[in-house]
Amino acid sequence: MPDARIPGAPVDQSTSAPLPRIPLTQNPATDVALALLTGFVRAGVRHIVISPGSRSQALALAAAELERNGSARLHVRIDERVGGFLALGIGRESGAPAVVVTTSGTATANLHPAVLEAHEAGVPLIVVTADRPEELRGIRSNQTTRQVGIYGDVIRFARDVPAPEGGEAELVEADRVALAAVRAAVGADDADPGPVHLNVAFREPLSVAVPALDRIEPADVPAIAPASALGRDTVELQDGPRTVVIAGADAGPEAEGFARAAGVPLLAEVSSGARFGPNLVVVYRELLRDEAFGGRVERAVVFGHPTLSREVPALLTRTDVEVIVVAPSGRQVYNPGRRARVVGAIRPPADVDLRSPEVRAWVGSWVFASRRIVEAAESAADPAAAAPDVEKARSYDPADALAFAKAELAAVRAPVTRALLAEALWRYTWPHDRLVIGASRLIRDVDRIVPGKRIPVHANRGLAGIDGTIATATGIAVAGQAAAAEDGSAAGITRVLLGDLALLHDAGALLGVTGEARPNLQVVVGNDGGGTIFDSLEVASTAPATAFDRVQYTPQTVDVASLARAYGWDHRIARTKGELDQALSAPPVGVSLVEVPLER
């Protein structure tokens, strides 16, 4: 069998268990499809995403049998781009790859956005594309294109599997390739998780009826390799320079733990997974622009992938700032100044005294300055939106009681602003829930406002595209709820915050599928009639308004309620704080969409 592996990709069957008994059908396509998919399941895959097609029918029918016997969870999506991001969301939430299967032709290209995001974000993903056999390639055969290498050099492991002809050796090889693909996707051998591509040719007859199989159990779940696989050092931070910790997307709680142990300010983006703790600086943008704070920084320790501000890369490109990037996995490293020291792990200074005046003054100055800015912003807000004085509610003075009632009514009737939307969504999300934030203007609004809180937050910040936001969130929801069902833990709701254009860009992900239970998923749409994120561009103040609106703002007047109803989603509109609180505090079971009209 020709080997089309990327150099260095792992092929290791030393931990492989004996093949399960799979009844042979005497149809090579069906037999290899069964061997490949059962190989994935044995290696720990629990979710398979299928988009319908003719050339991939053997894989699709094999996946249906694995669902029937309880070996795997099957998800069917007619749009391959939706299917790709659904699989991406499953990988994001679970840390294990989902397998997404497509037919040949343009179907394979529709997976490219999800593949690129998986590459940049280091999310495990396995793509299996069906193809024509060798004799039908390069002759303009219908629905045939060059699928080998279609995703370029972002793939961790690639294999062009020739059309099967029959025989036990092909089944053994399919199982071996499945194990190698899973190991590569999770970075088991080189600590570089990401997308994998298997291009599998099938020759007619393309399938037969799949025999009933016994349940397949995992034989060997690959473990993610330690960071030492990349040869990066574990270092101890030396005391001395004035230091800040910067936590970007997917930094994880390690960033907060290090900042607290080292006694330094924590500048954590909302999608970092580290936005909590006593050292958190909420309004880090403003302080980084302030010479009394940002101007005094001498060293920055970076976790994750910062993407939400201009101030952070400006700091990291300064020649007077030492930059240490902590990257335990992934060959893709955030390094805006191209001069950072990249390490696999970092320890706080061994002799740091968290009670010393110097440490307390440095951390305290950032934290208290941030609190003062937040309090000033709150006091300058619309008084009608402020919380009523509860002391007046306890008063026996009729005037106080009347004042409280008026204030309470005014607060409930206050129109929803971006700040109010961000705060409410953050307040109603709990540790057993999931919050997904799209690449709209709203993620920056949330990042500027919300306080520390240890809750699971996801965002596709690898490439920060609006592609597939709802599909990704669906994958996160189904994976989270499946895991909760298996271990008996509480399964919360998955909420998605995105703008109107991101909703319309992924409207196909609203489509439900017969035979699949819909997850508890609430999509919250800030509808300002277009892409107001572009209003912050410098050119917005000088470009002709008509031209700018047409090509950047791209106004839309879609009836979101009708769109939701067409796809079978519950729809609510929240124009006031009271309506928003009600929608977020008591979401219906299943899928629901909350539309929040916002001013441009």
CA dihedral sign of residues 412, 416, 419, 420 = positive
Quickly state the pLDDT bin for 103 (edges 50, 70, 90). Answer: very high
Residue 223 lies in a domain: no
Residue 520 lies in a domain: yes
Can you tell me the mean pLDDT for 128-149?
Answer: 89
Choose the final residue of a domain: 210, 241, 257. 210
pLDDT digits (tens, 9 = 90+) for 540-584: 999 999 999 999 999 999 999 999 999 999 999 999 999 999 999
Decide: residue 567, CB within 10 A, 0-12 exposed, 13-18 middle, 19+ buried. middle
Specify whether 199 is located in the same domain as 265: no
Contact 377, 541 (CB under 8 A): no
Print the domain residue range for 399.
Answer: 381-412
Nearest to 202, CA basis, from 396, 41, 33 = 33
Q: What pLDDT was estimated at residue 13? A: 45
Decide: residue 380, CB within 10 A, 0-12 exposed, 13-18 middle, 19+ buried. exposed
pLDDT digits (tens, 9 = 90+) for 210-225: 999 999 988 755 555 5
Which residue do the tokens 């001498």 mark? 298
Specify whether 427 is located in the same domain as 401: no
Helix (H) or strand (E) holding 169: helix 168-186
C-alpha to C-alpha distance for 248 and 242, rounded to whole angstroms: 20
Q: How many CA atoms lie within 13 A of 175 on its CB side?
A: 22
Residue 65 lies in a domain: yes
pLDDT digits (tens, 9 = 90+) for 477-521: 999 999 999 888 888 999 999 999 999 999 999 999 888 999 999
Quickly state the pLDDT bin for 5 (edges 50, 70, 90). Answer: very low
Query: Is the pLDDT reported for residue 385 higher than 70?
Result: no
Residue 385 lies in a domain: yes
Specify whether 57 is located in the same domain as 159: yes
To 5 degrees, how large is the angle CA 118–CA 121–CA 125? 25
pLDDT digits (tens, 9 = 90+) for 319-353: 999 999 999 999 889 999 999 999 999 999 999 99
Specify whether 351 is located in the same domain as 430: no
pLDDT digits (tens, 9 = 90+) for 20-55: 777 888 899 999 999 999 999 999 999 999 999 999
Domain at 164, CATH number:
3.40.50.970
Contact 458, 470 (CB under 8 A): no
Contact 445, 526 (CB under 8 A): no
Helix (H) or strand (E) holding 256: helix 253-262
Q: What pLDDT was estimated at residue 11? A: 43
DSSP 478-504: HHHHHHHHHHT-----EEEEEEHHHHH
Specify whether 127 is located in the same domain as 237: no
CB < 8 Å & 24+ apart, contacts of 408-415: 410/384, 410/385, 411/384, 411/385, 411/386, 411/387, 411/577, 412/576, 412/577, 412/578, 412/581, 413/384, 413/576, 413/577, 413/578, 414/382, 414/384, 414/385, 414/576, 414/577, 415/575, 415/576, 415/577
Specify whether 40 is located in the same domain as 96: yes
Specify whether 276 is located in the same domain as 368: yes
Q: How far is CA 564 from the centre of its chain?
A: 23
Query: Is the pLDDT reported for residue 1 higher than 80?
Result: no
Q: Is the peptide bond before 113 cis (omega within 30 degrees of 0)?
A: no
Strand-pairing partners, residue 121, are none
Choose the final residue of a domain: 184, 210, 236. 210
Which residue do the tokens 């609203």 mark? 510
Nearest to 37, CA basis, from 20, 17, 55 = 20
Query: Is the pLDDT reported for residue 12 higher than 90?
Result: no
Q: What pLDDT was estimated at residue 487? A: 86
Specify whether 182 is located in the same domain as 137: yes
Residue 10 lies in a domain: no
Specify whether 450 is located in the same domain as 593: yes
Q: What pLDDT was estimated at residue 3? A: 33
Residue 21 lies in a domain: no
**Domain count of the fold of the chain:** 4
C-alpha to C-alpha distance for 581 and 23, rounded to whole angstroms: 56
Residue 20 lies in a domain: no
Residue 334 lies in a domain: yes
Contact 128, 200 (CB under 8 A): yes
Burial 254-269 (b: 16+ CB within 10 A, else e): bbbebbbebbbbbbbb
Domain at 266, CATH number:
3.40.50.1220
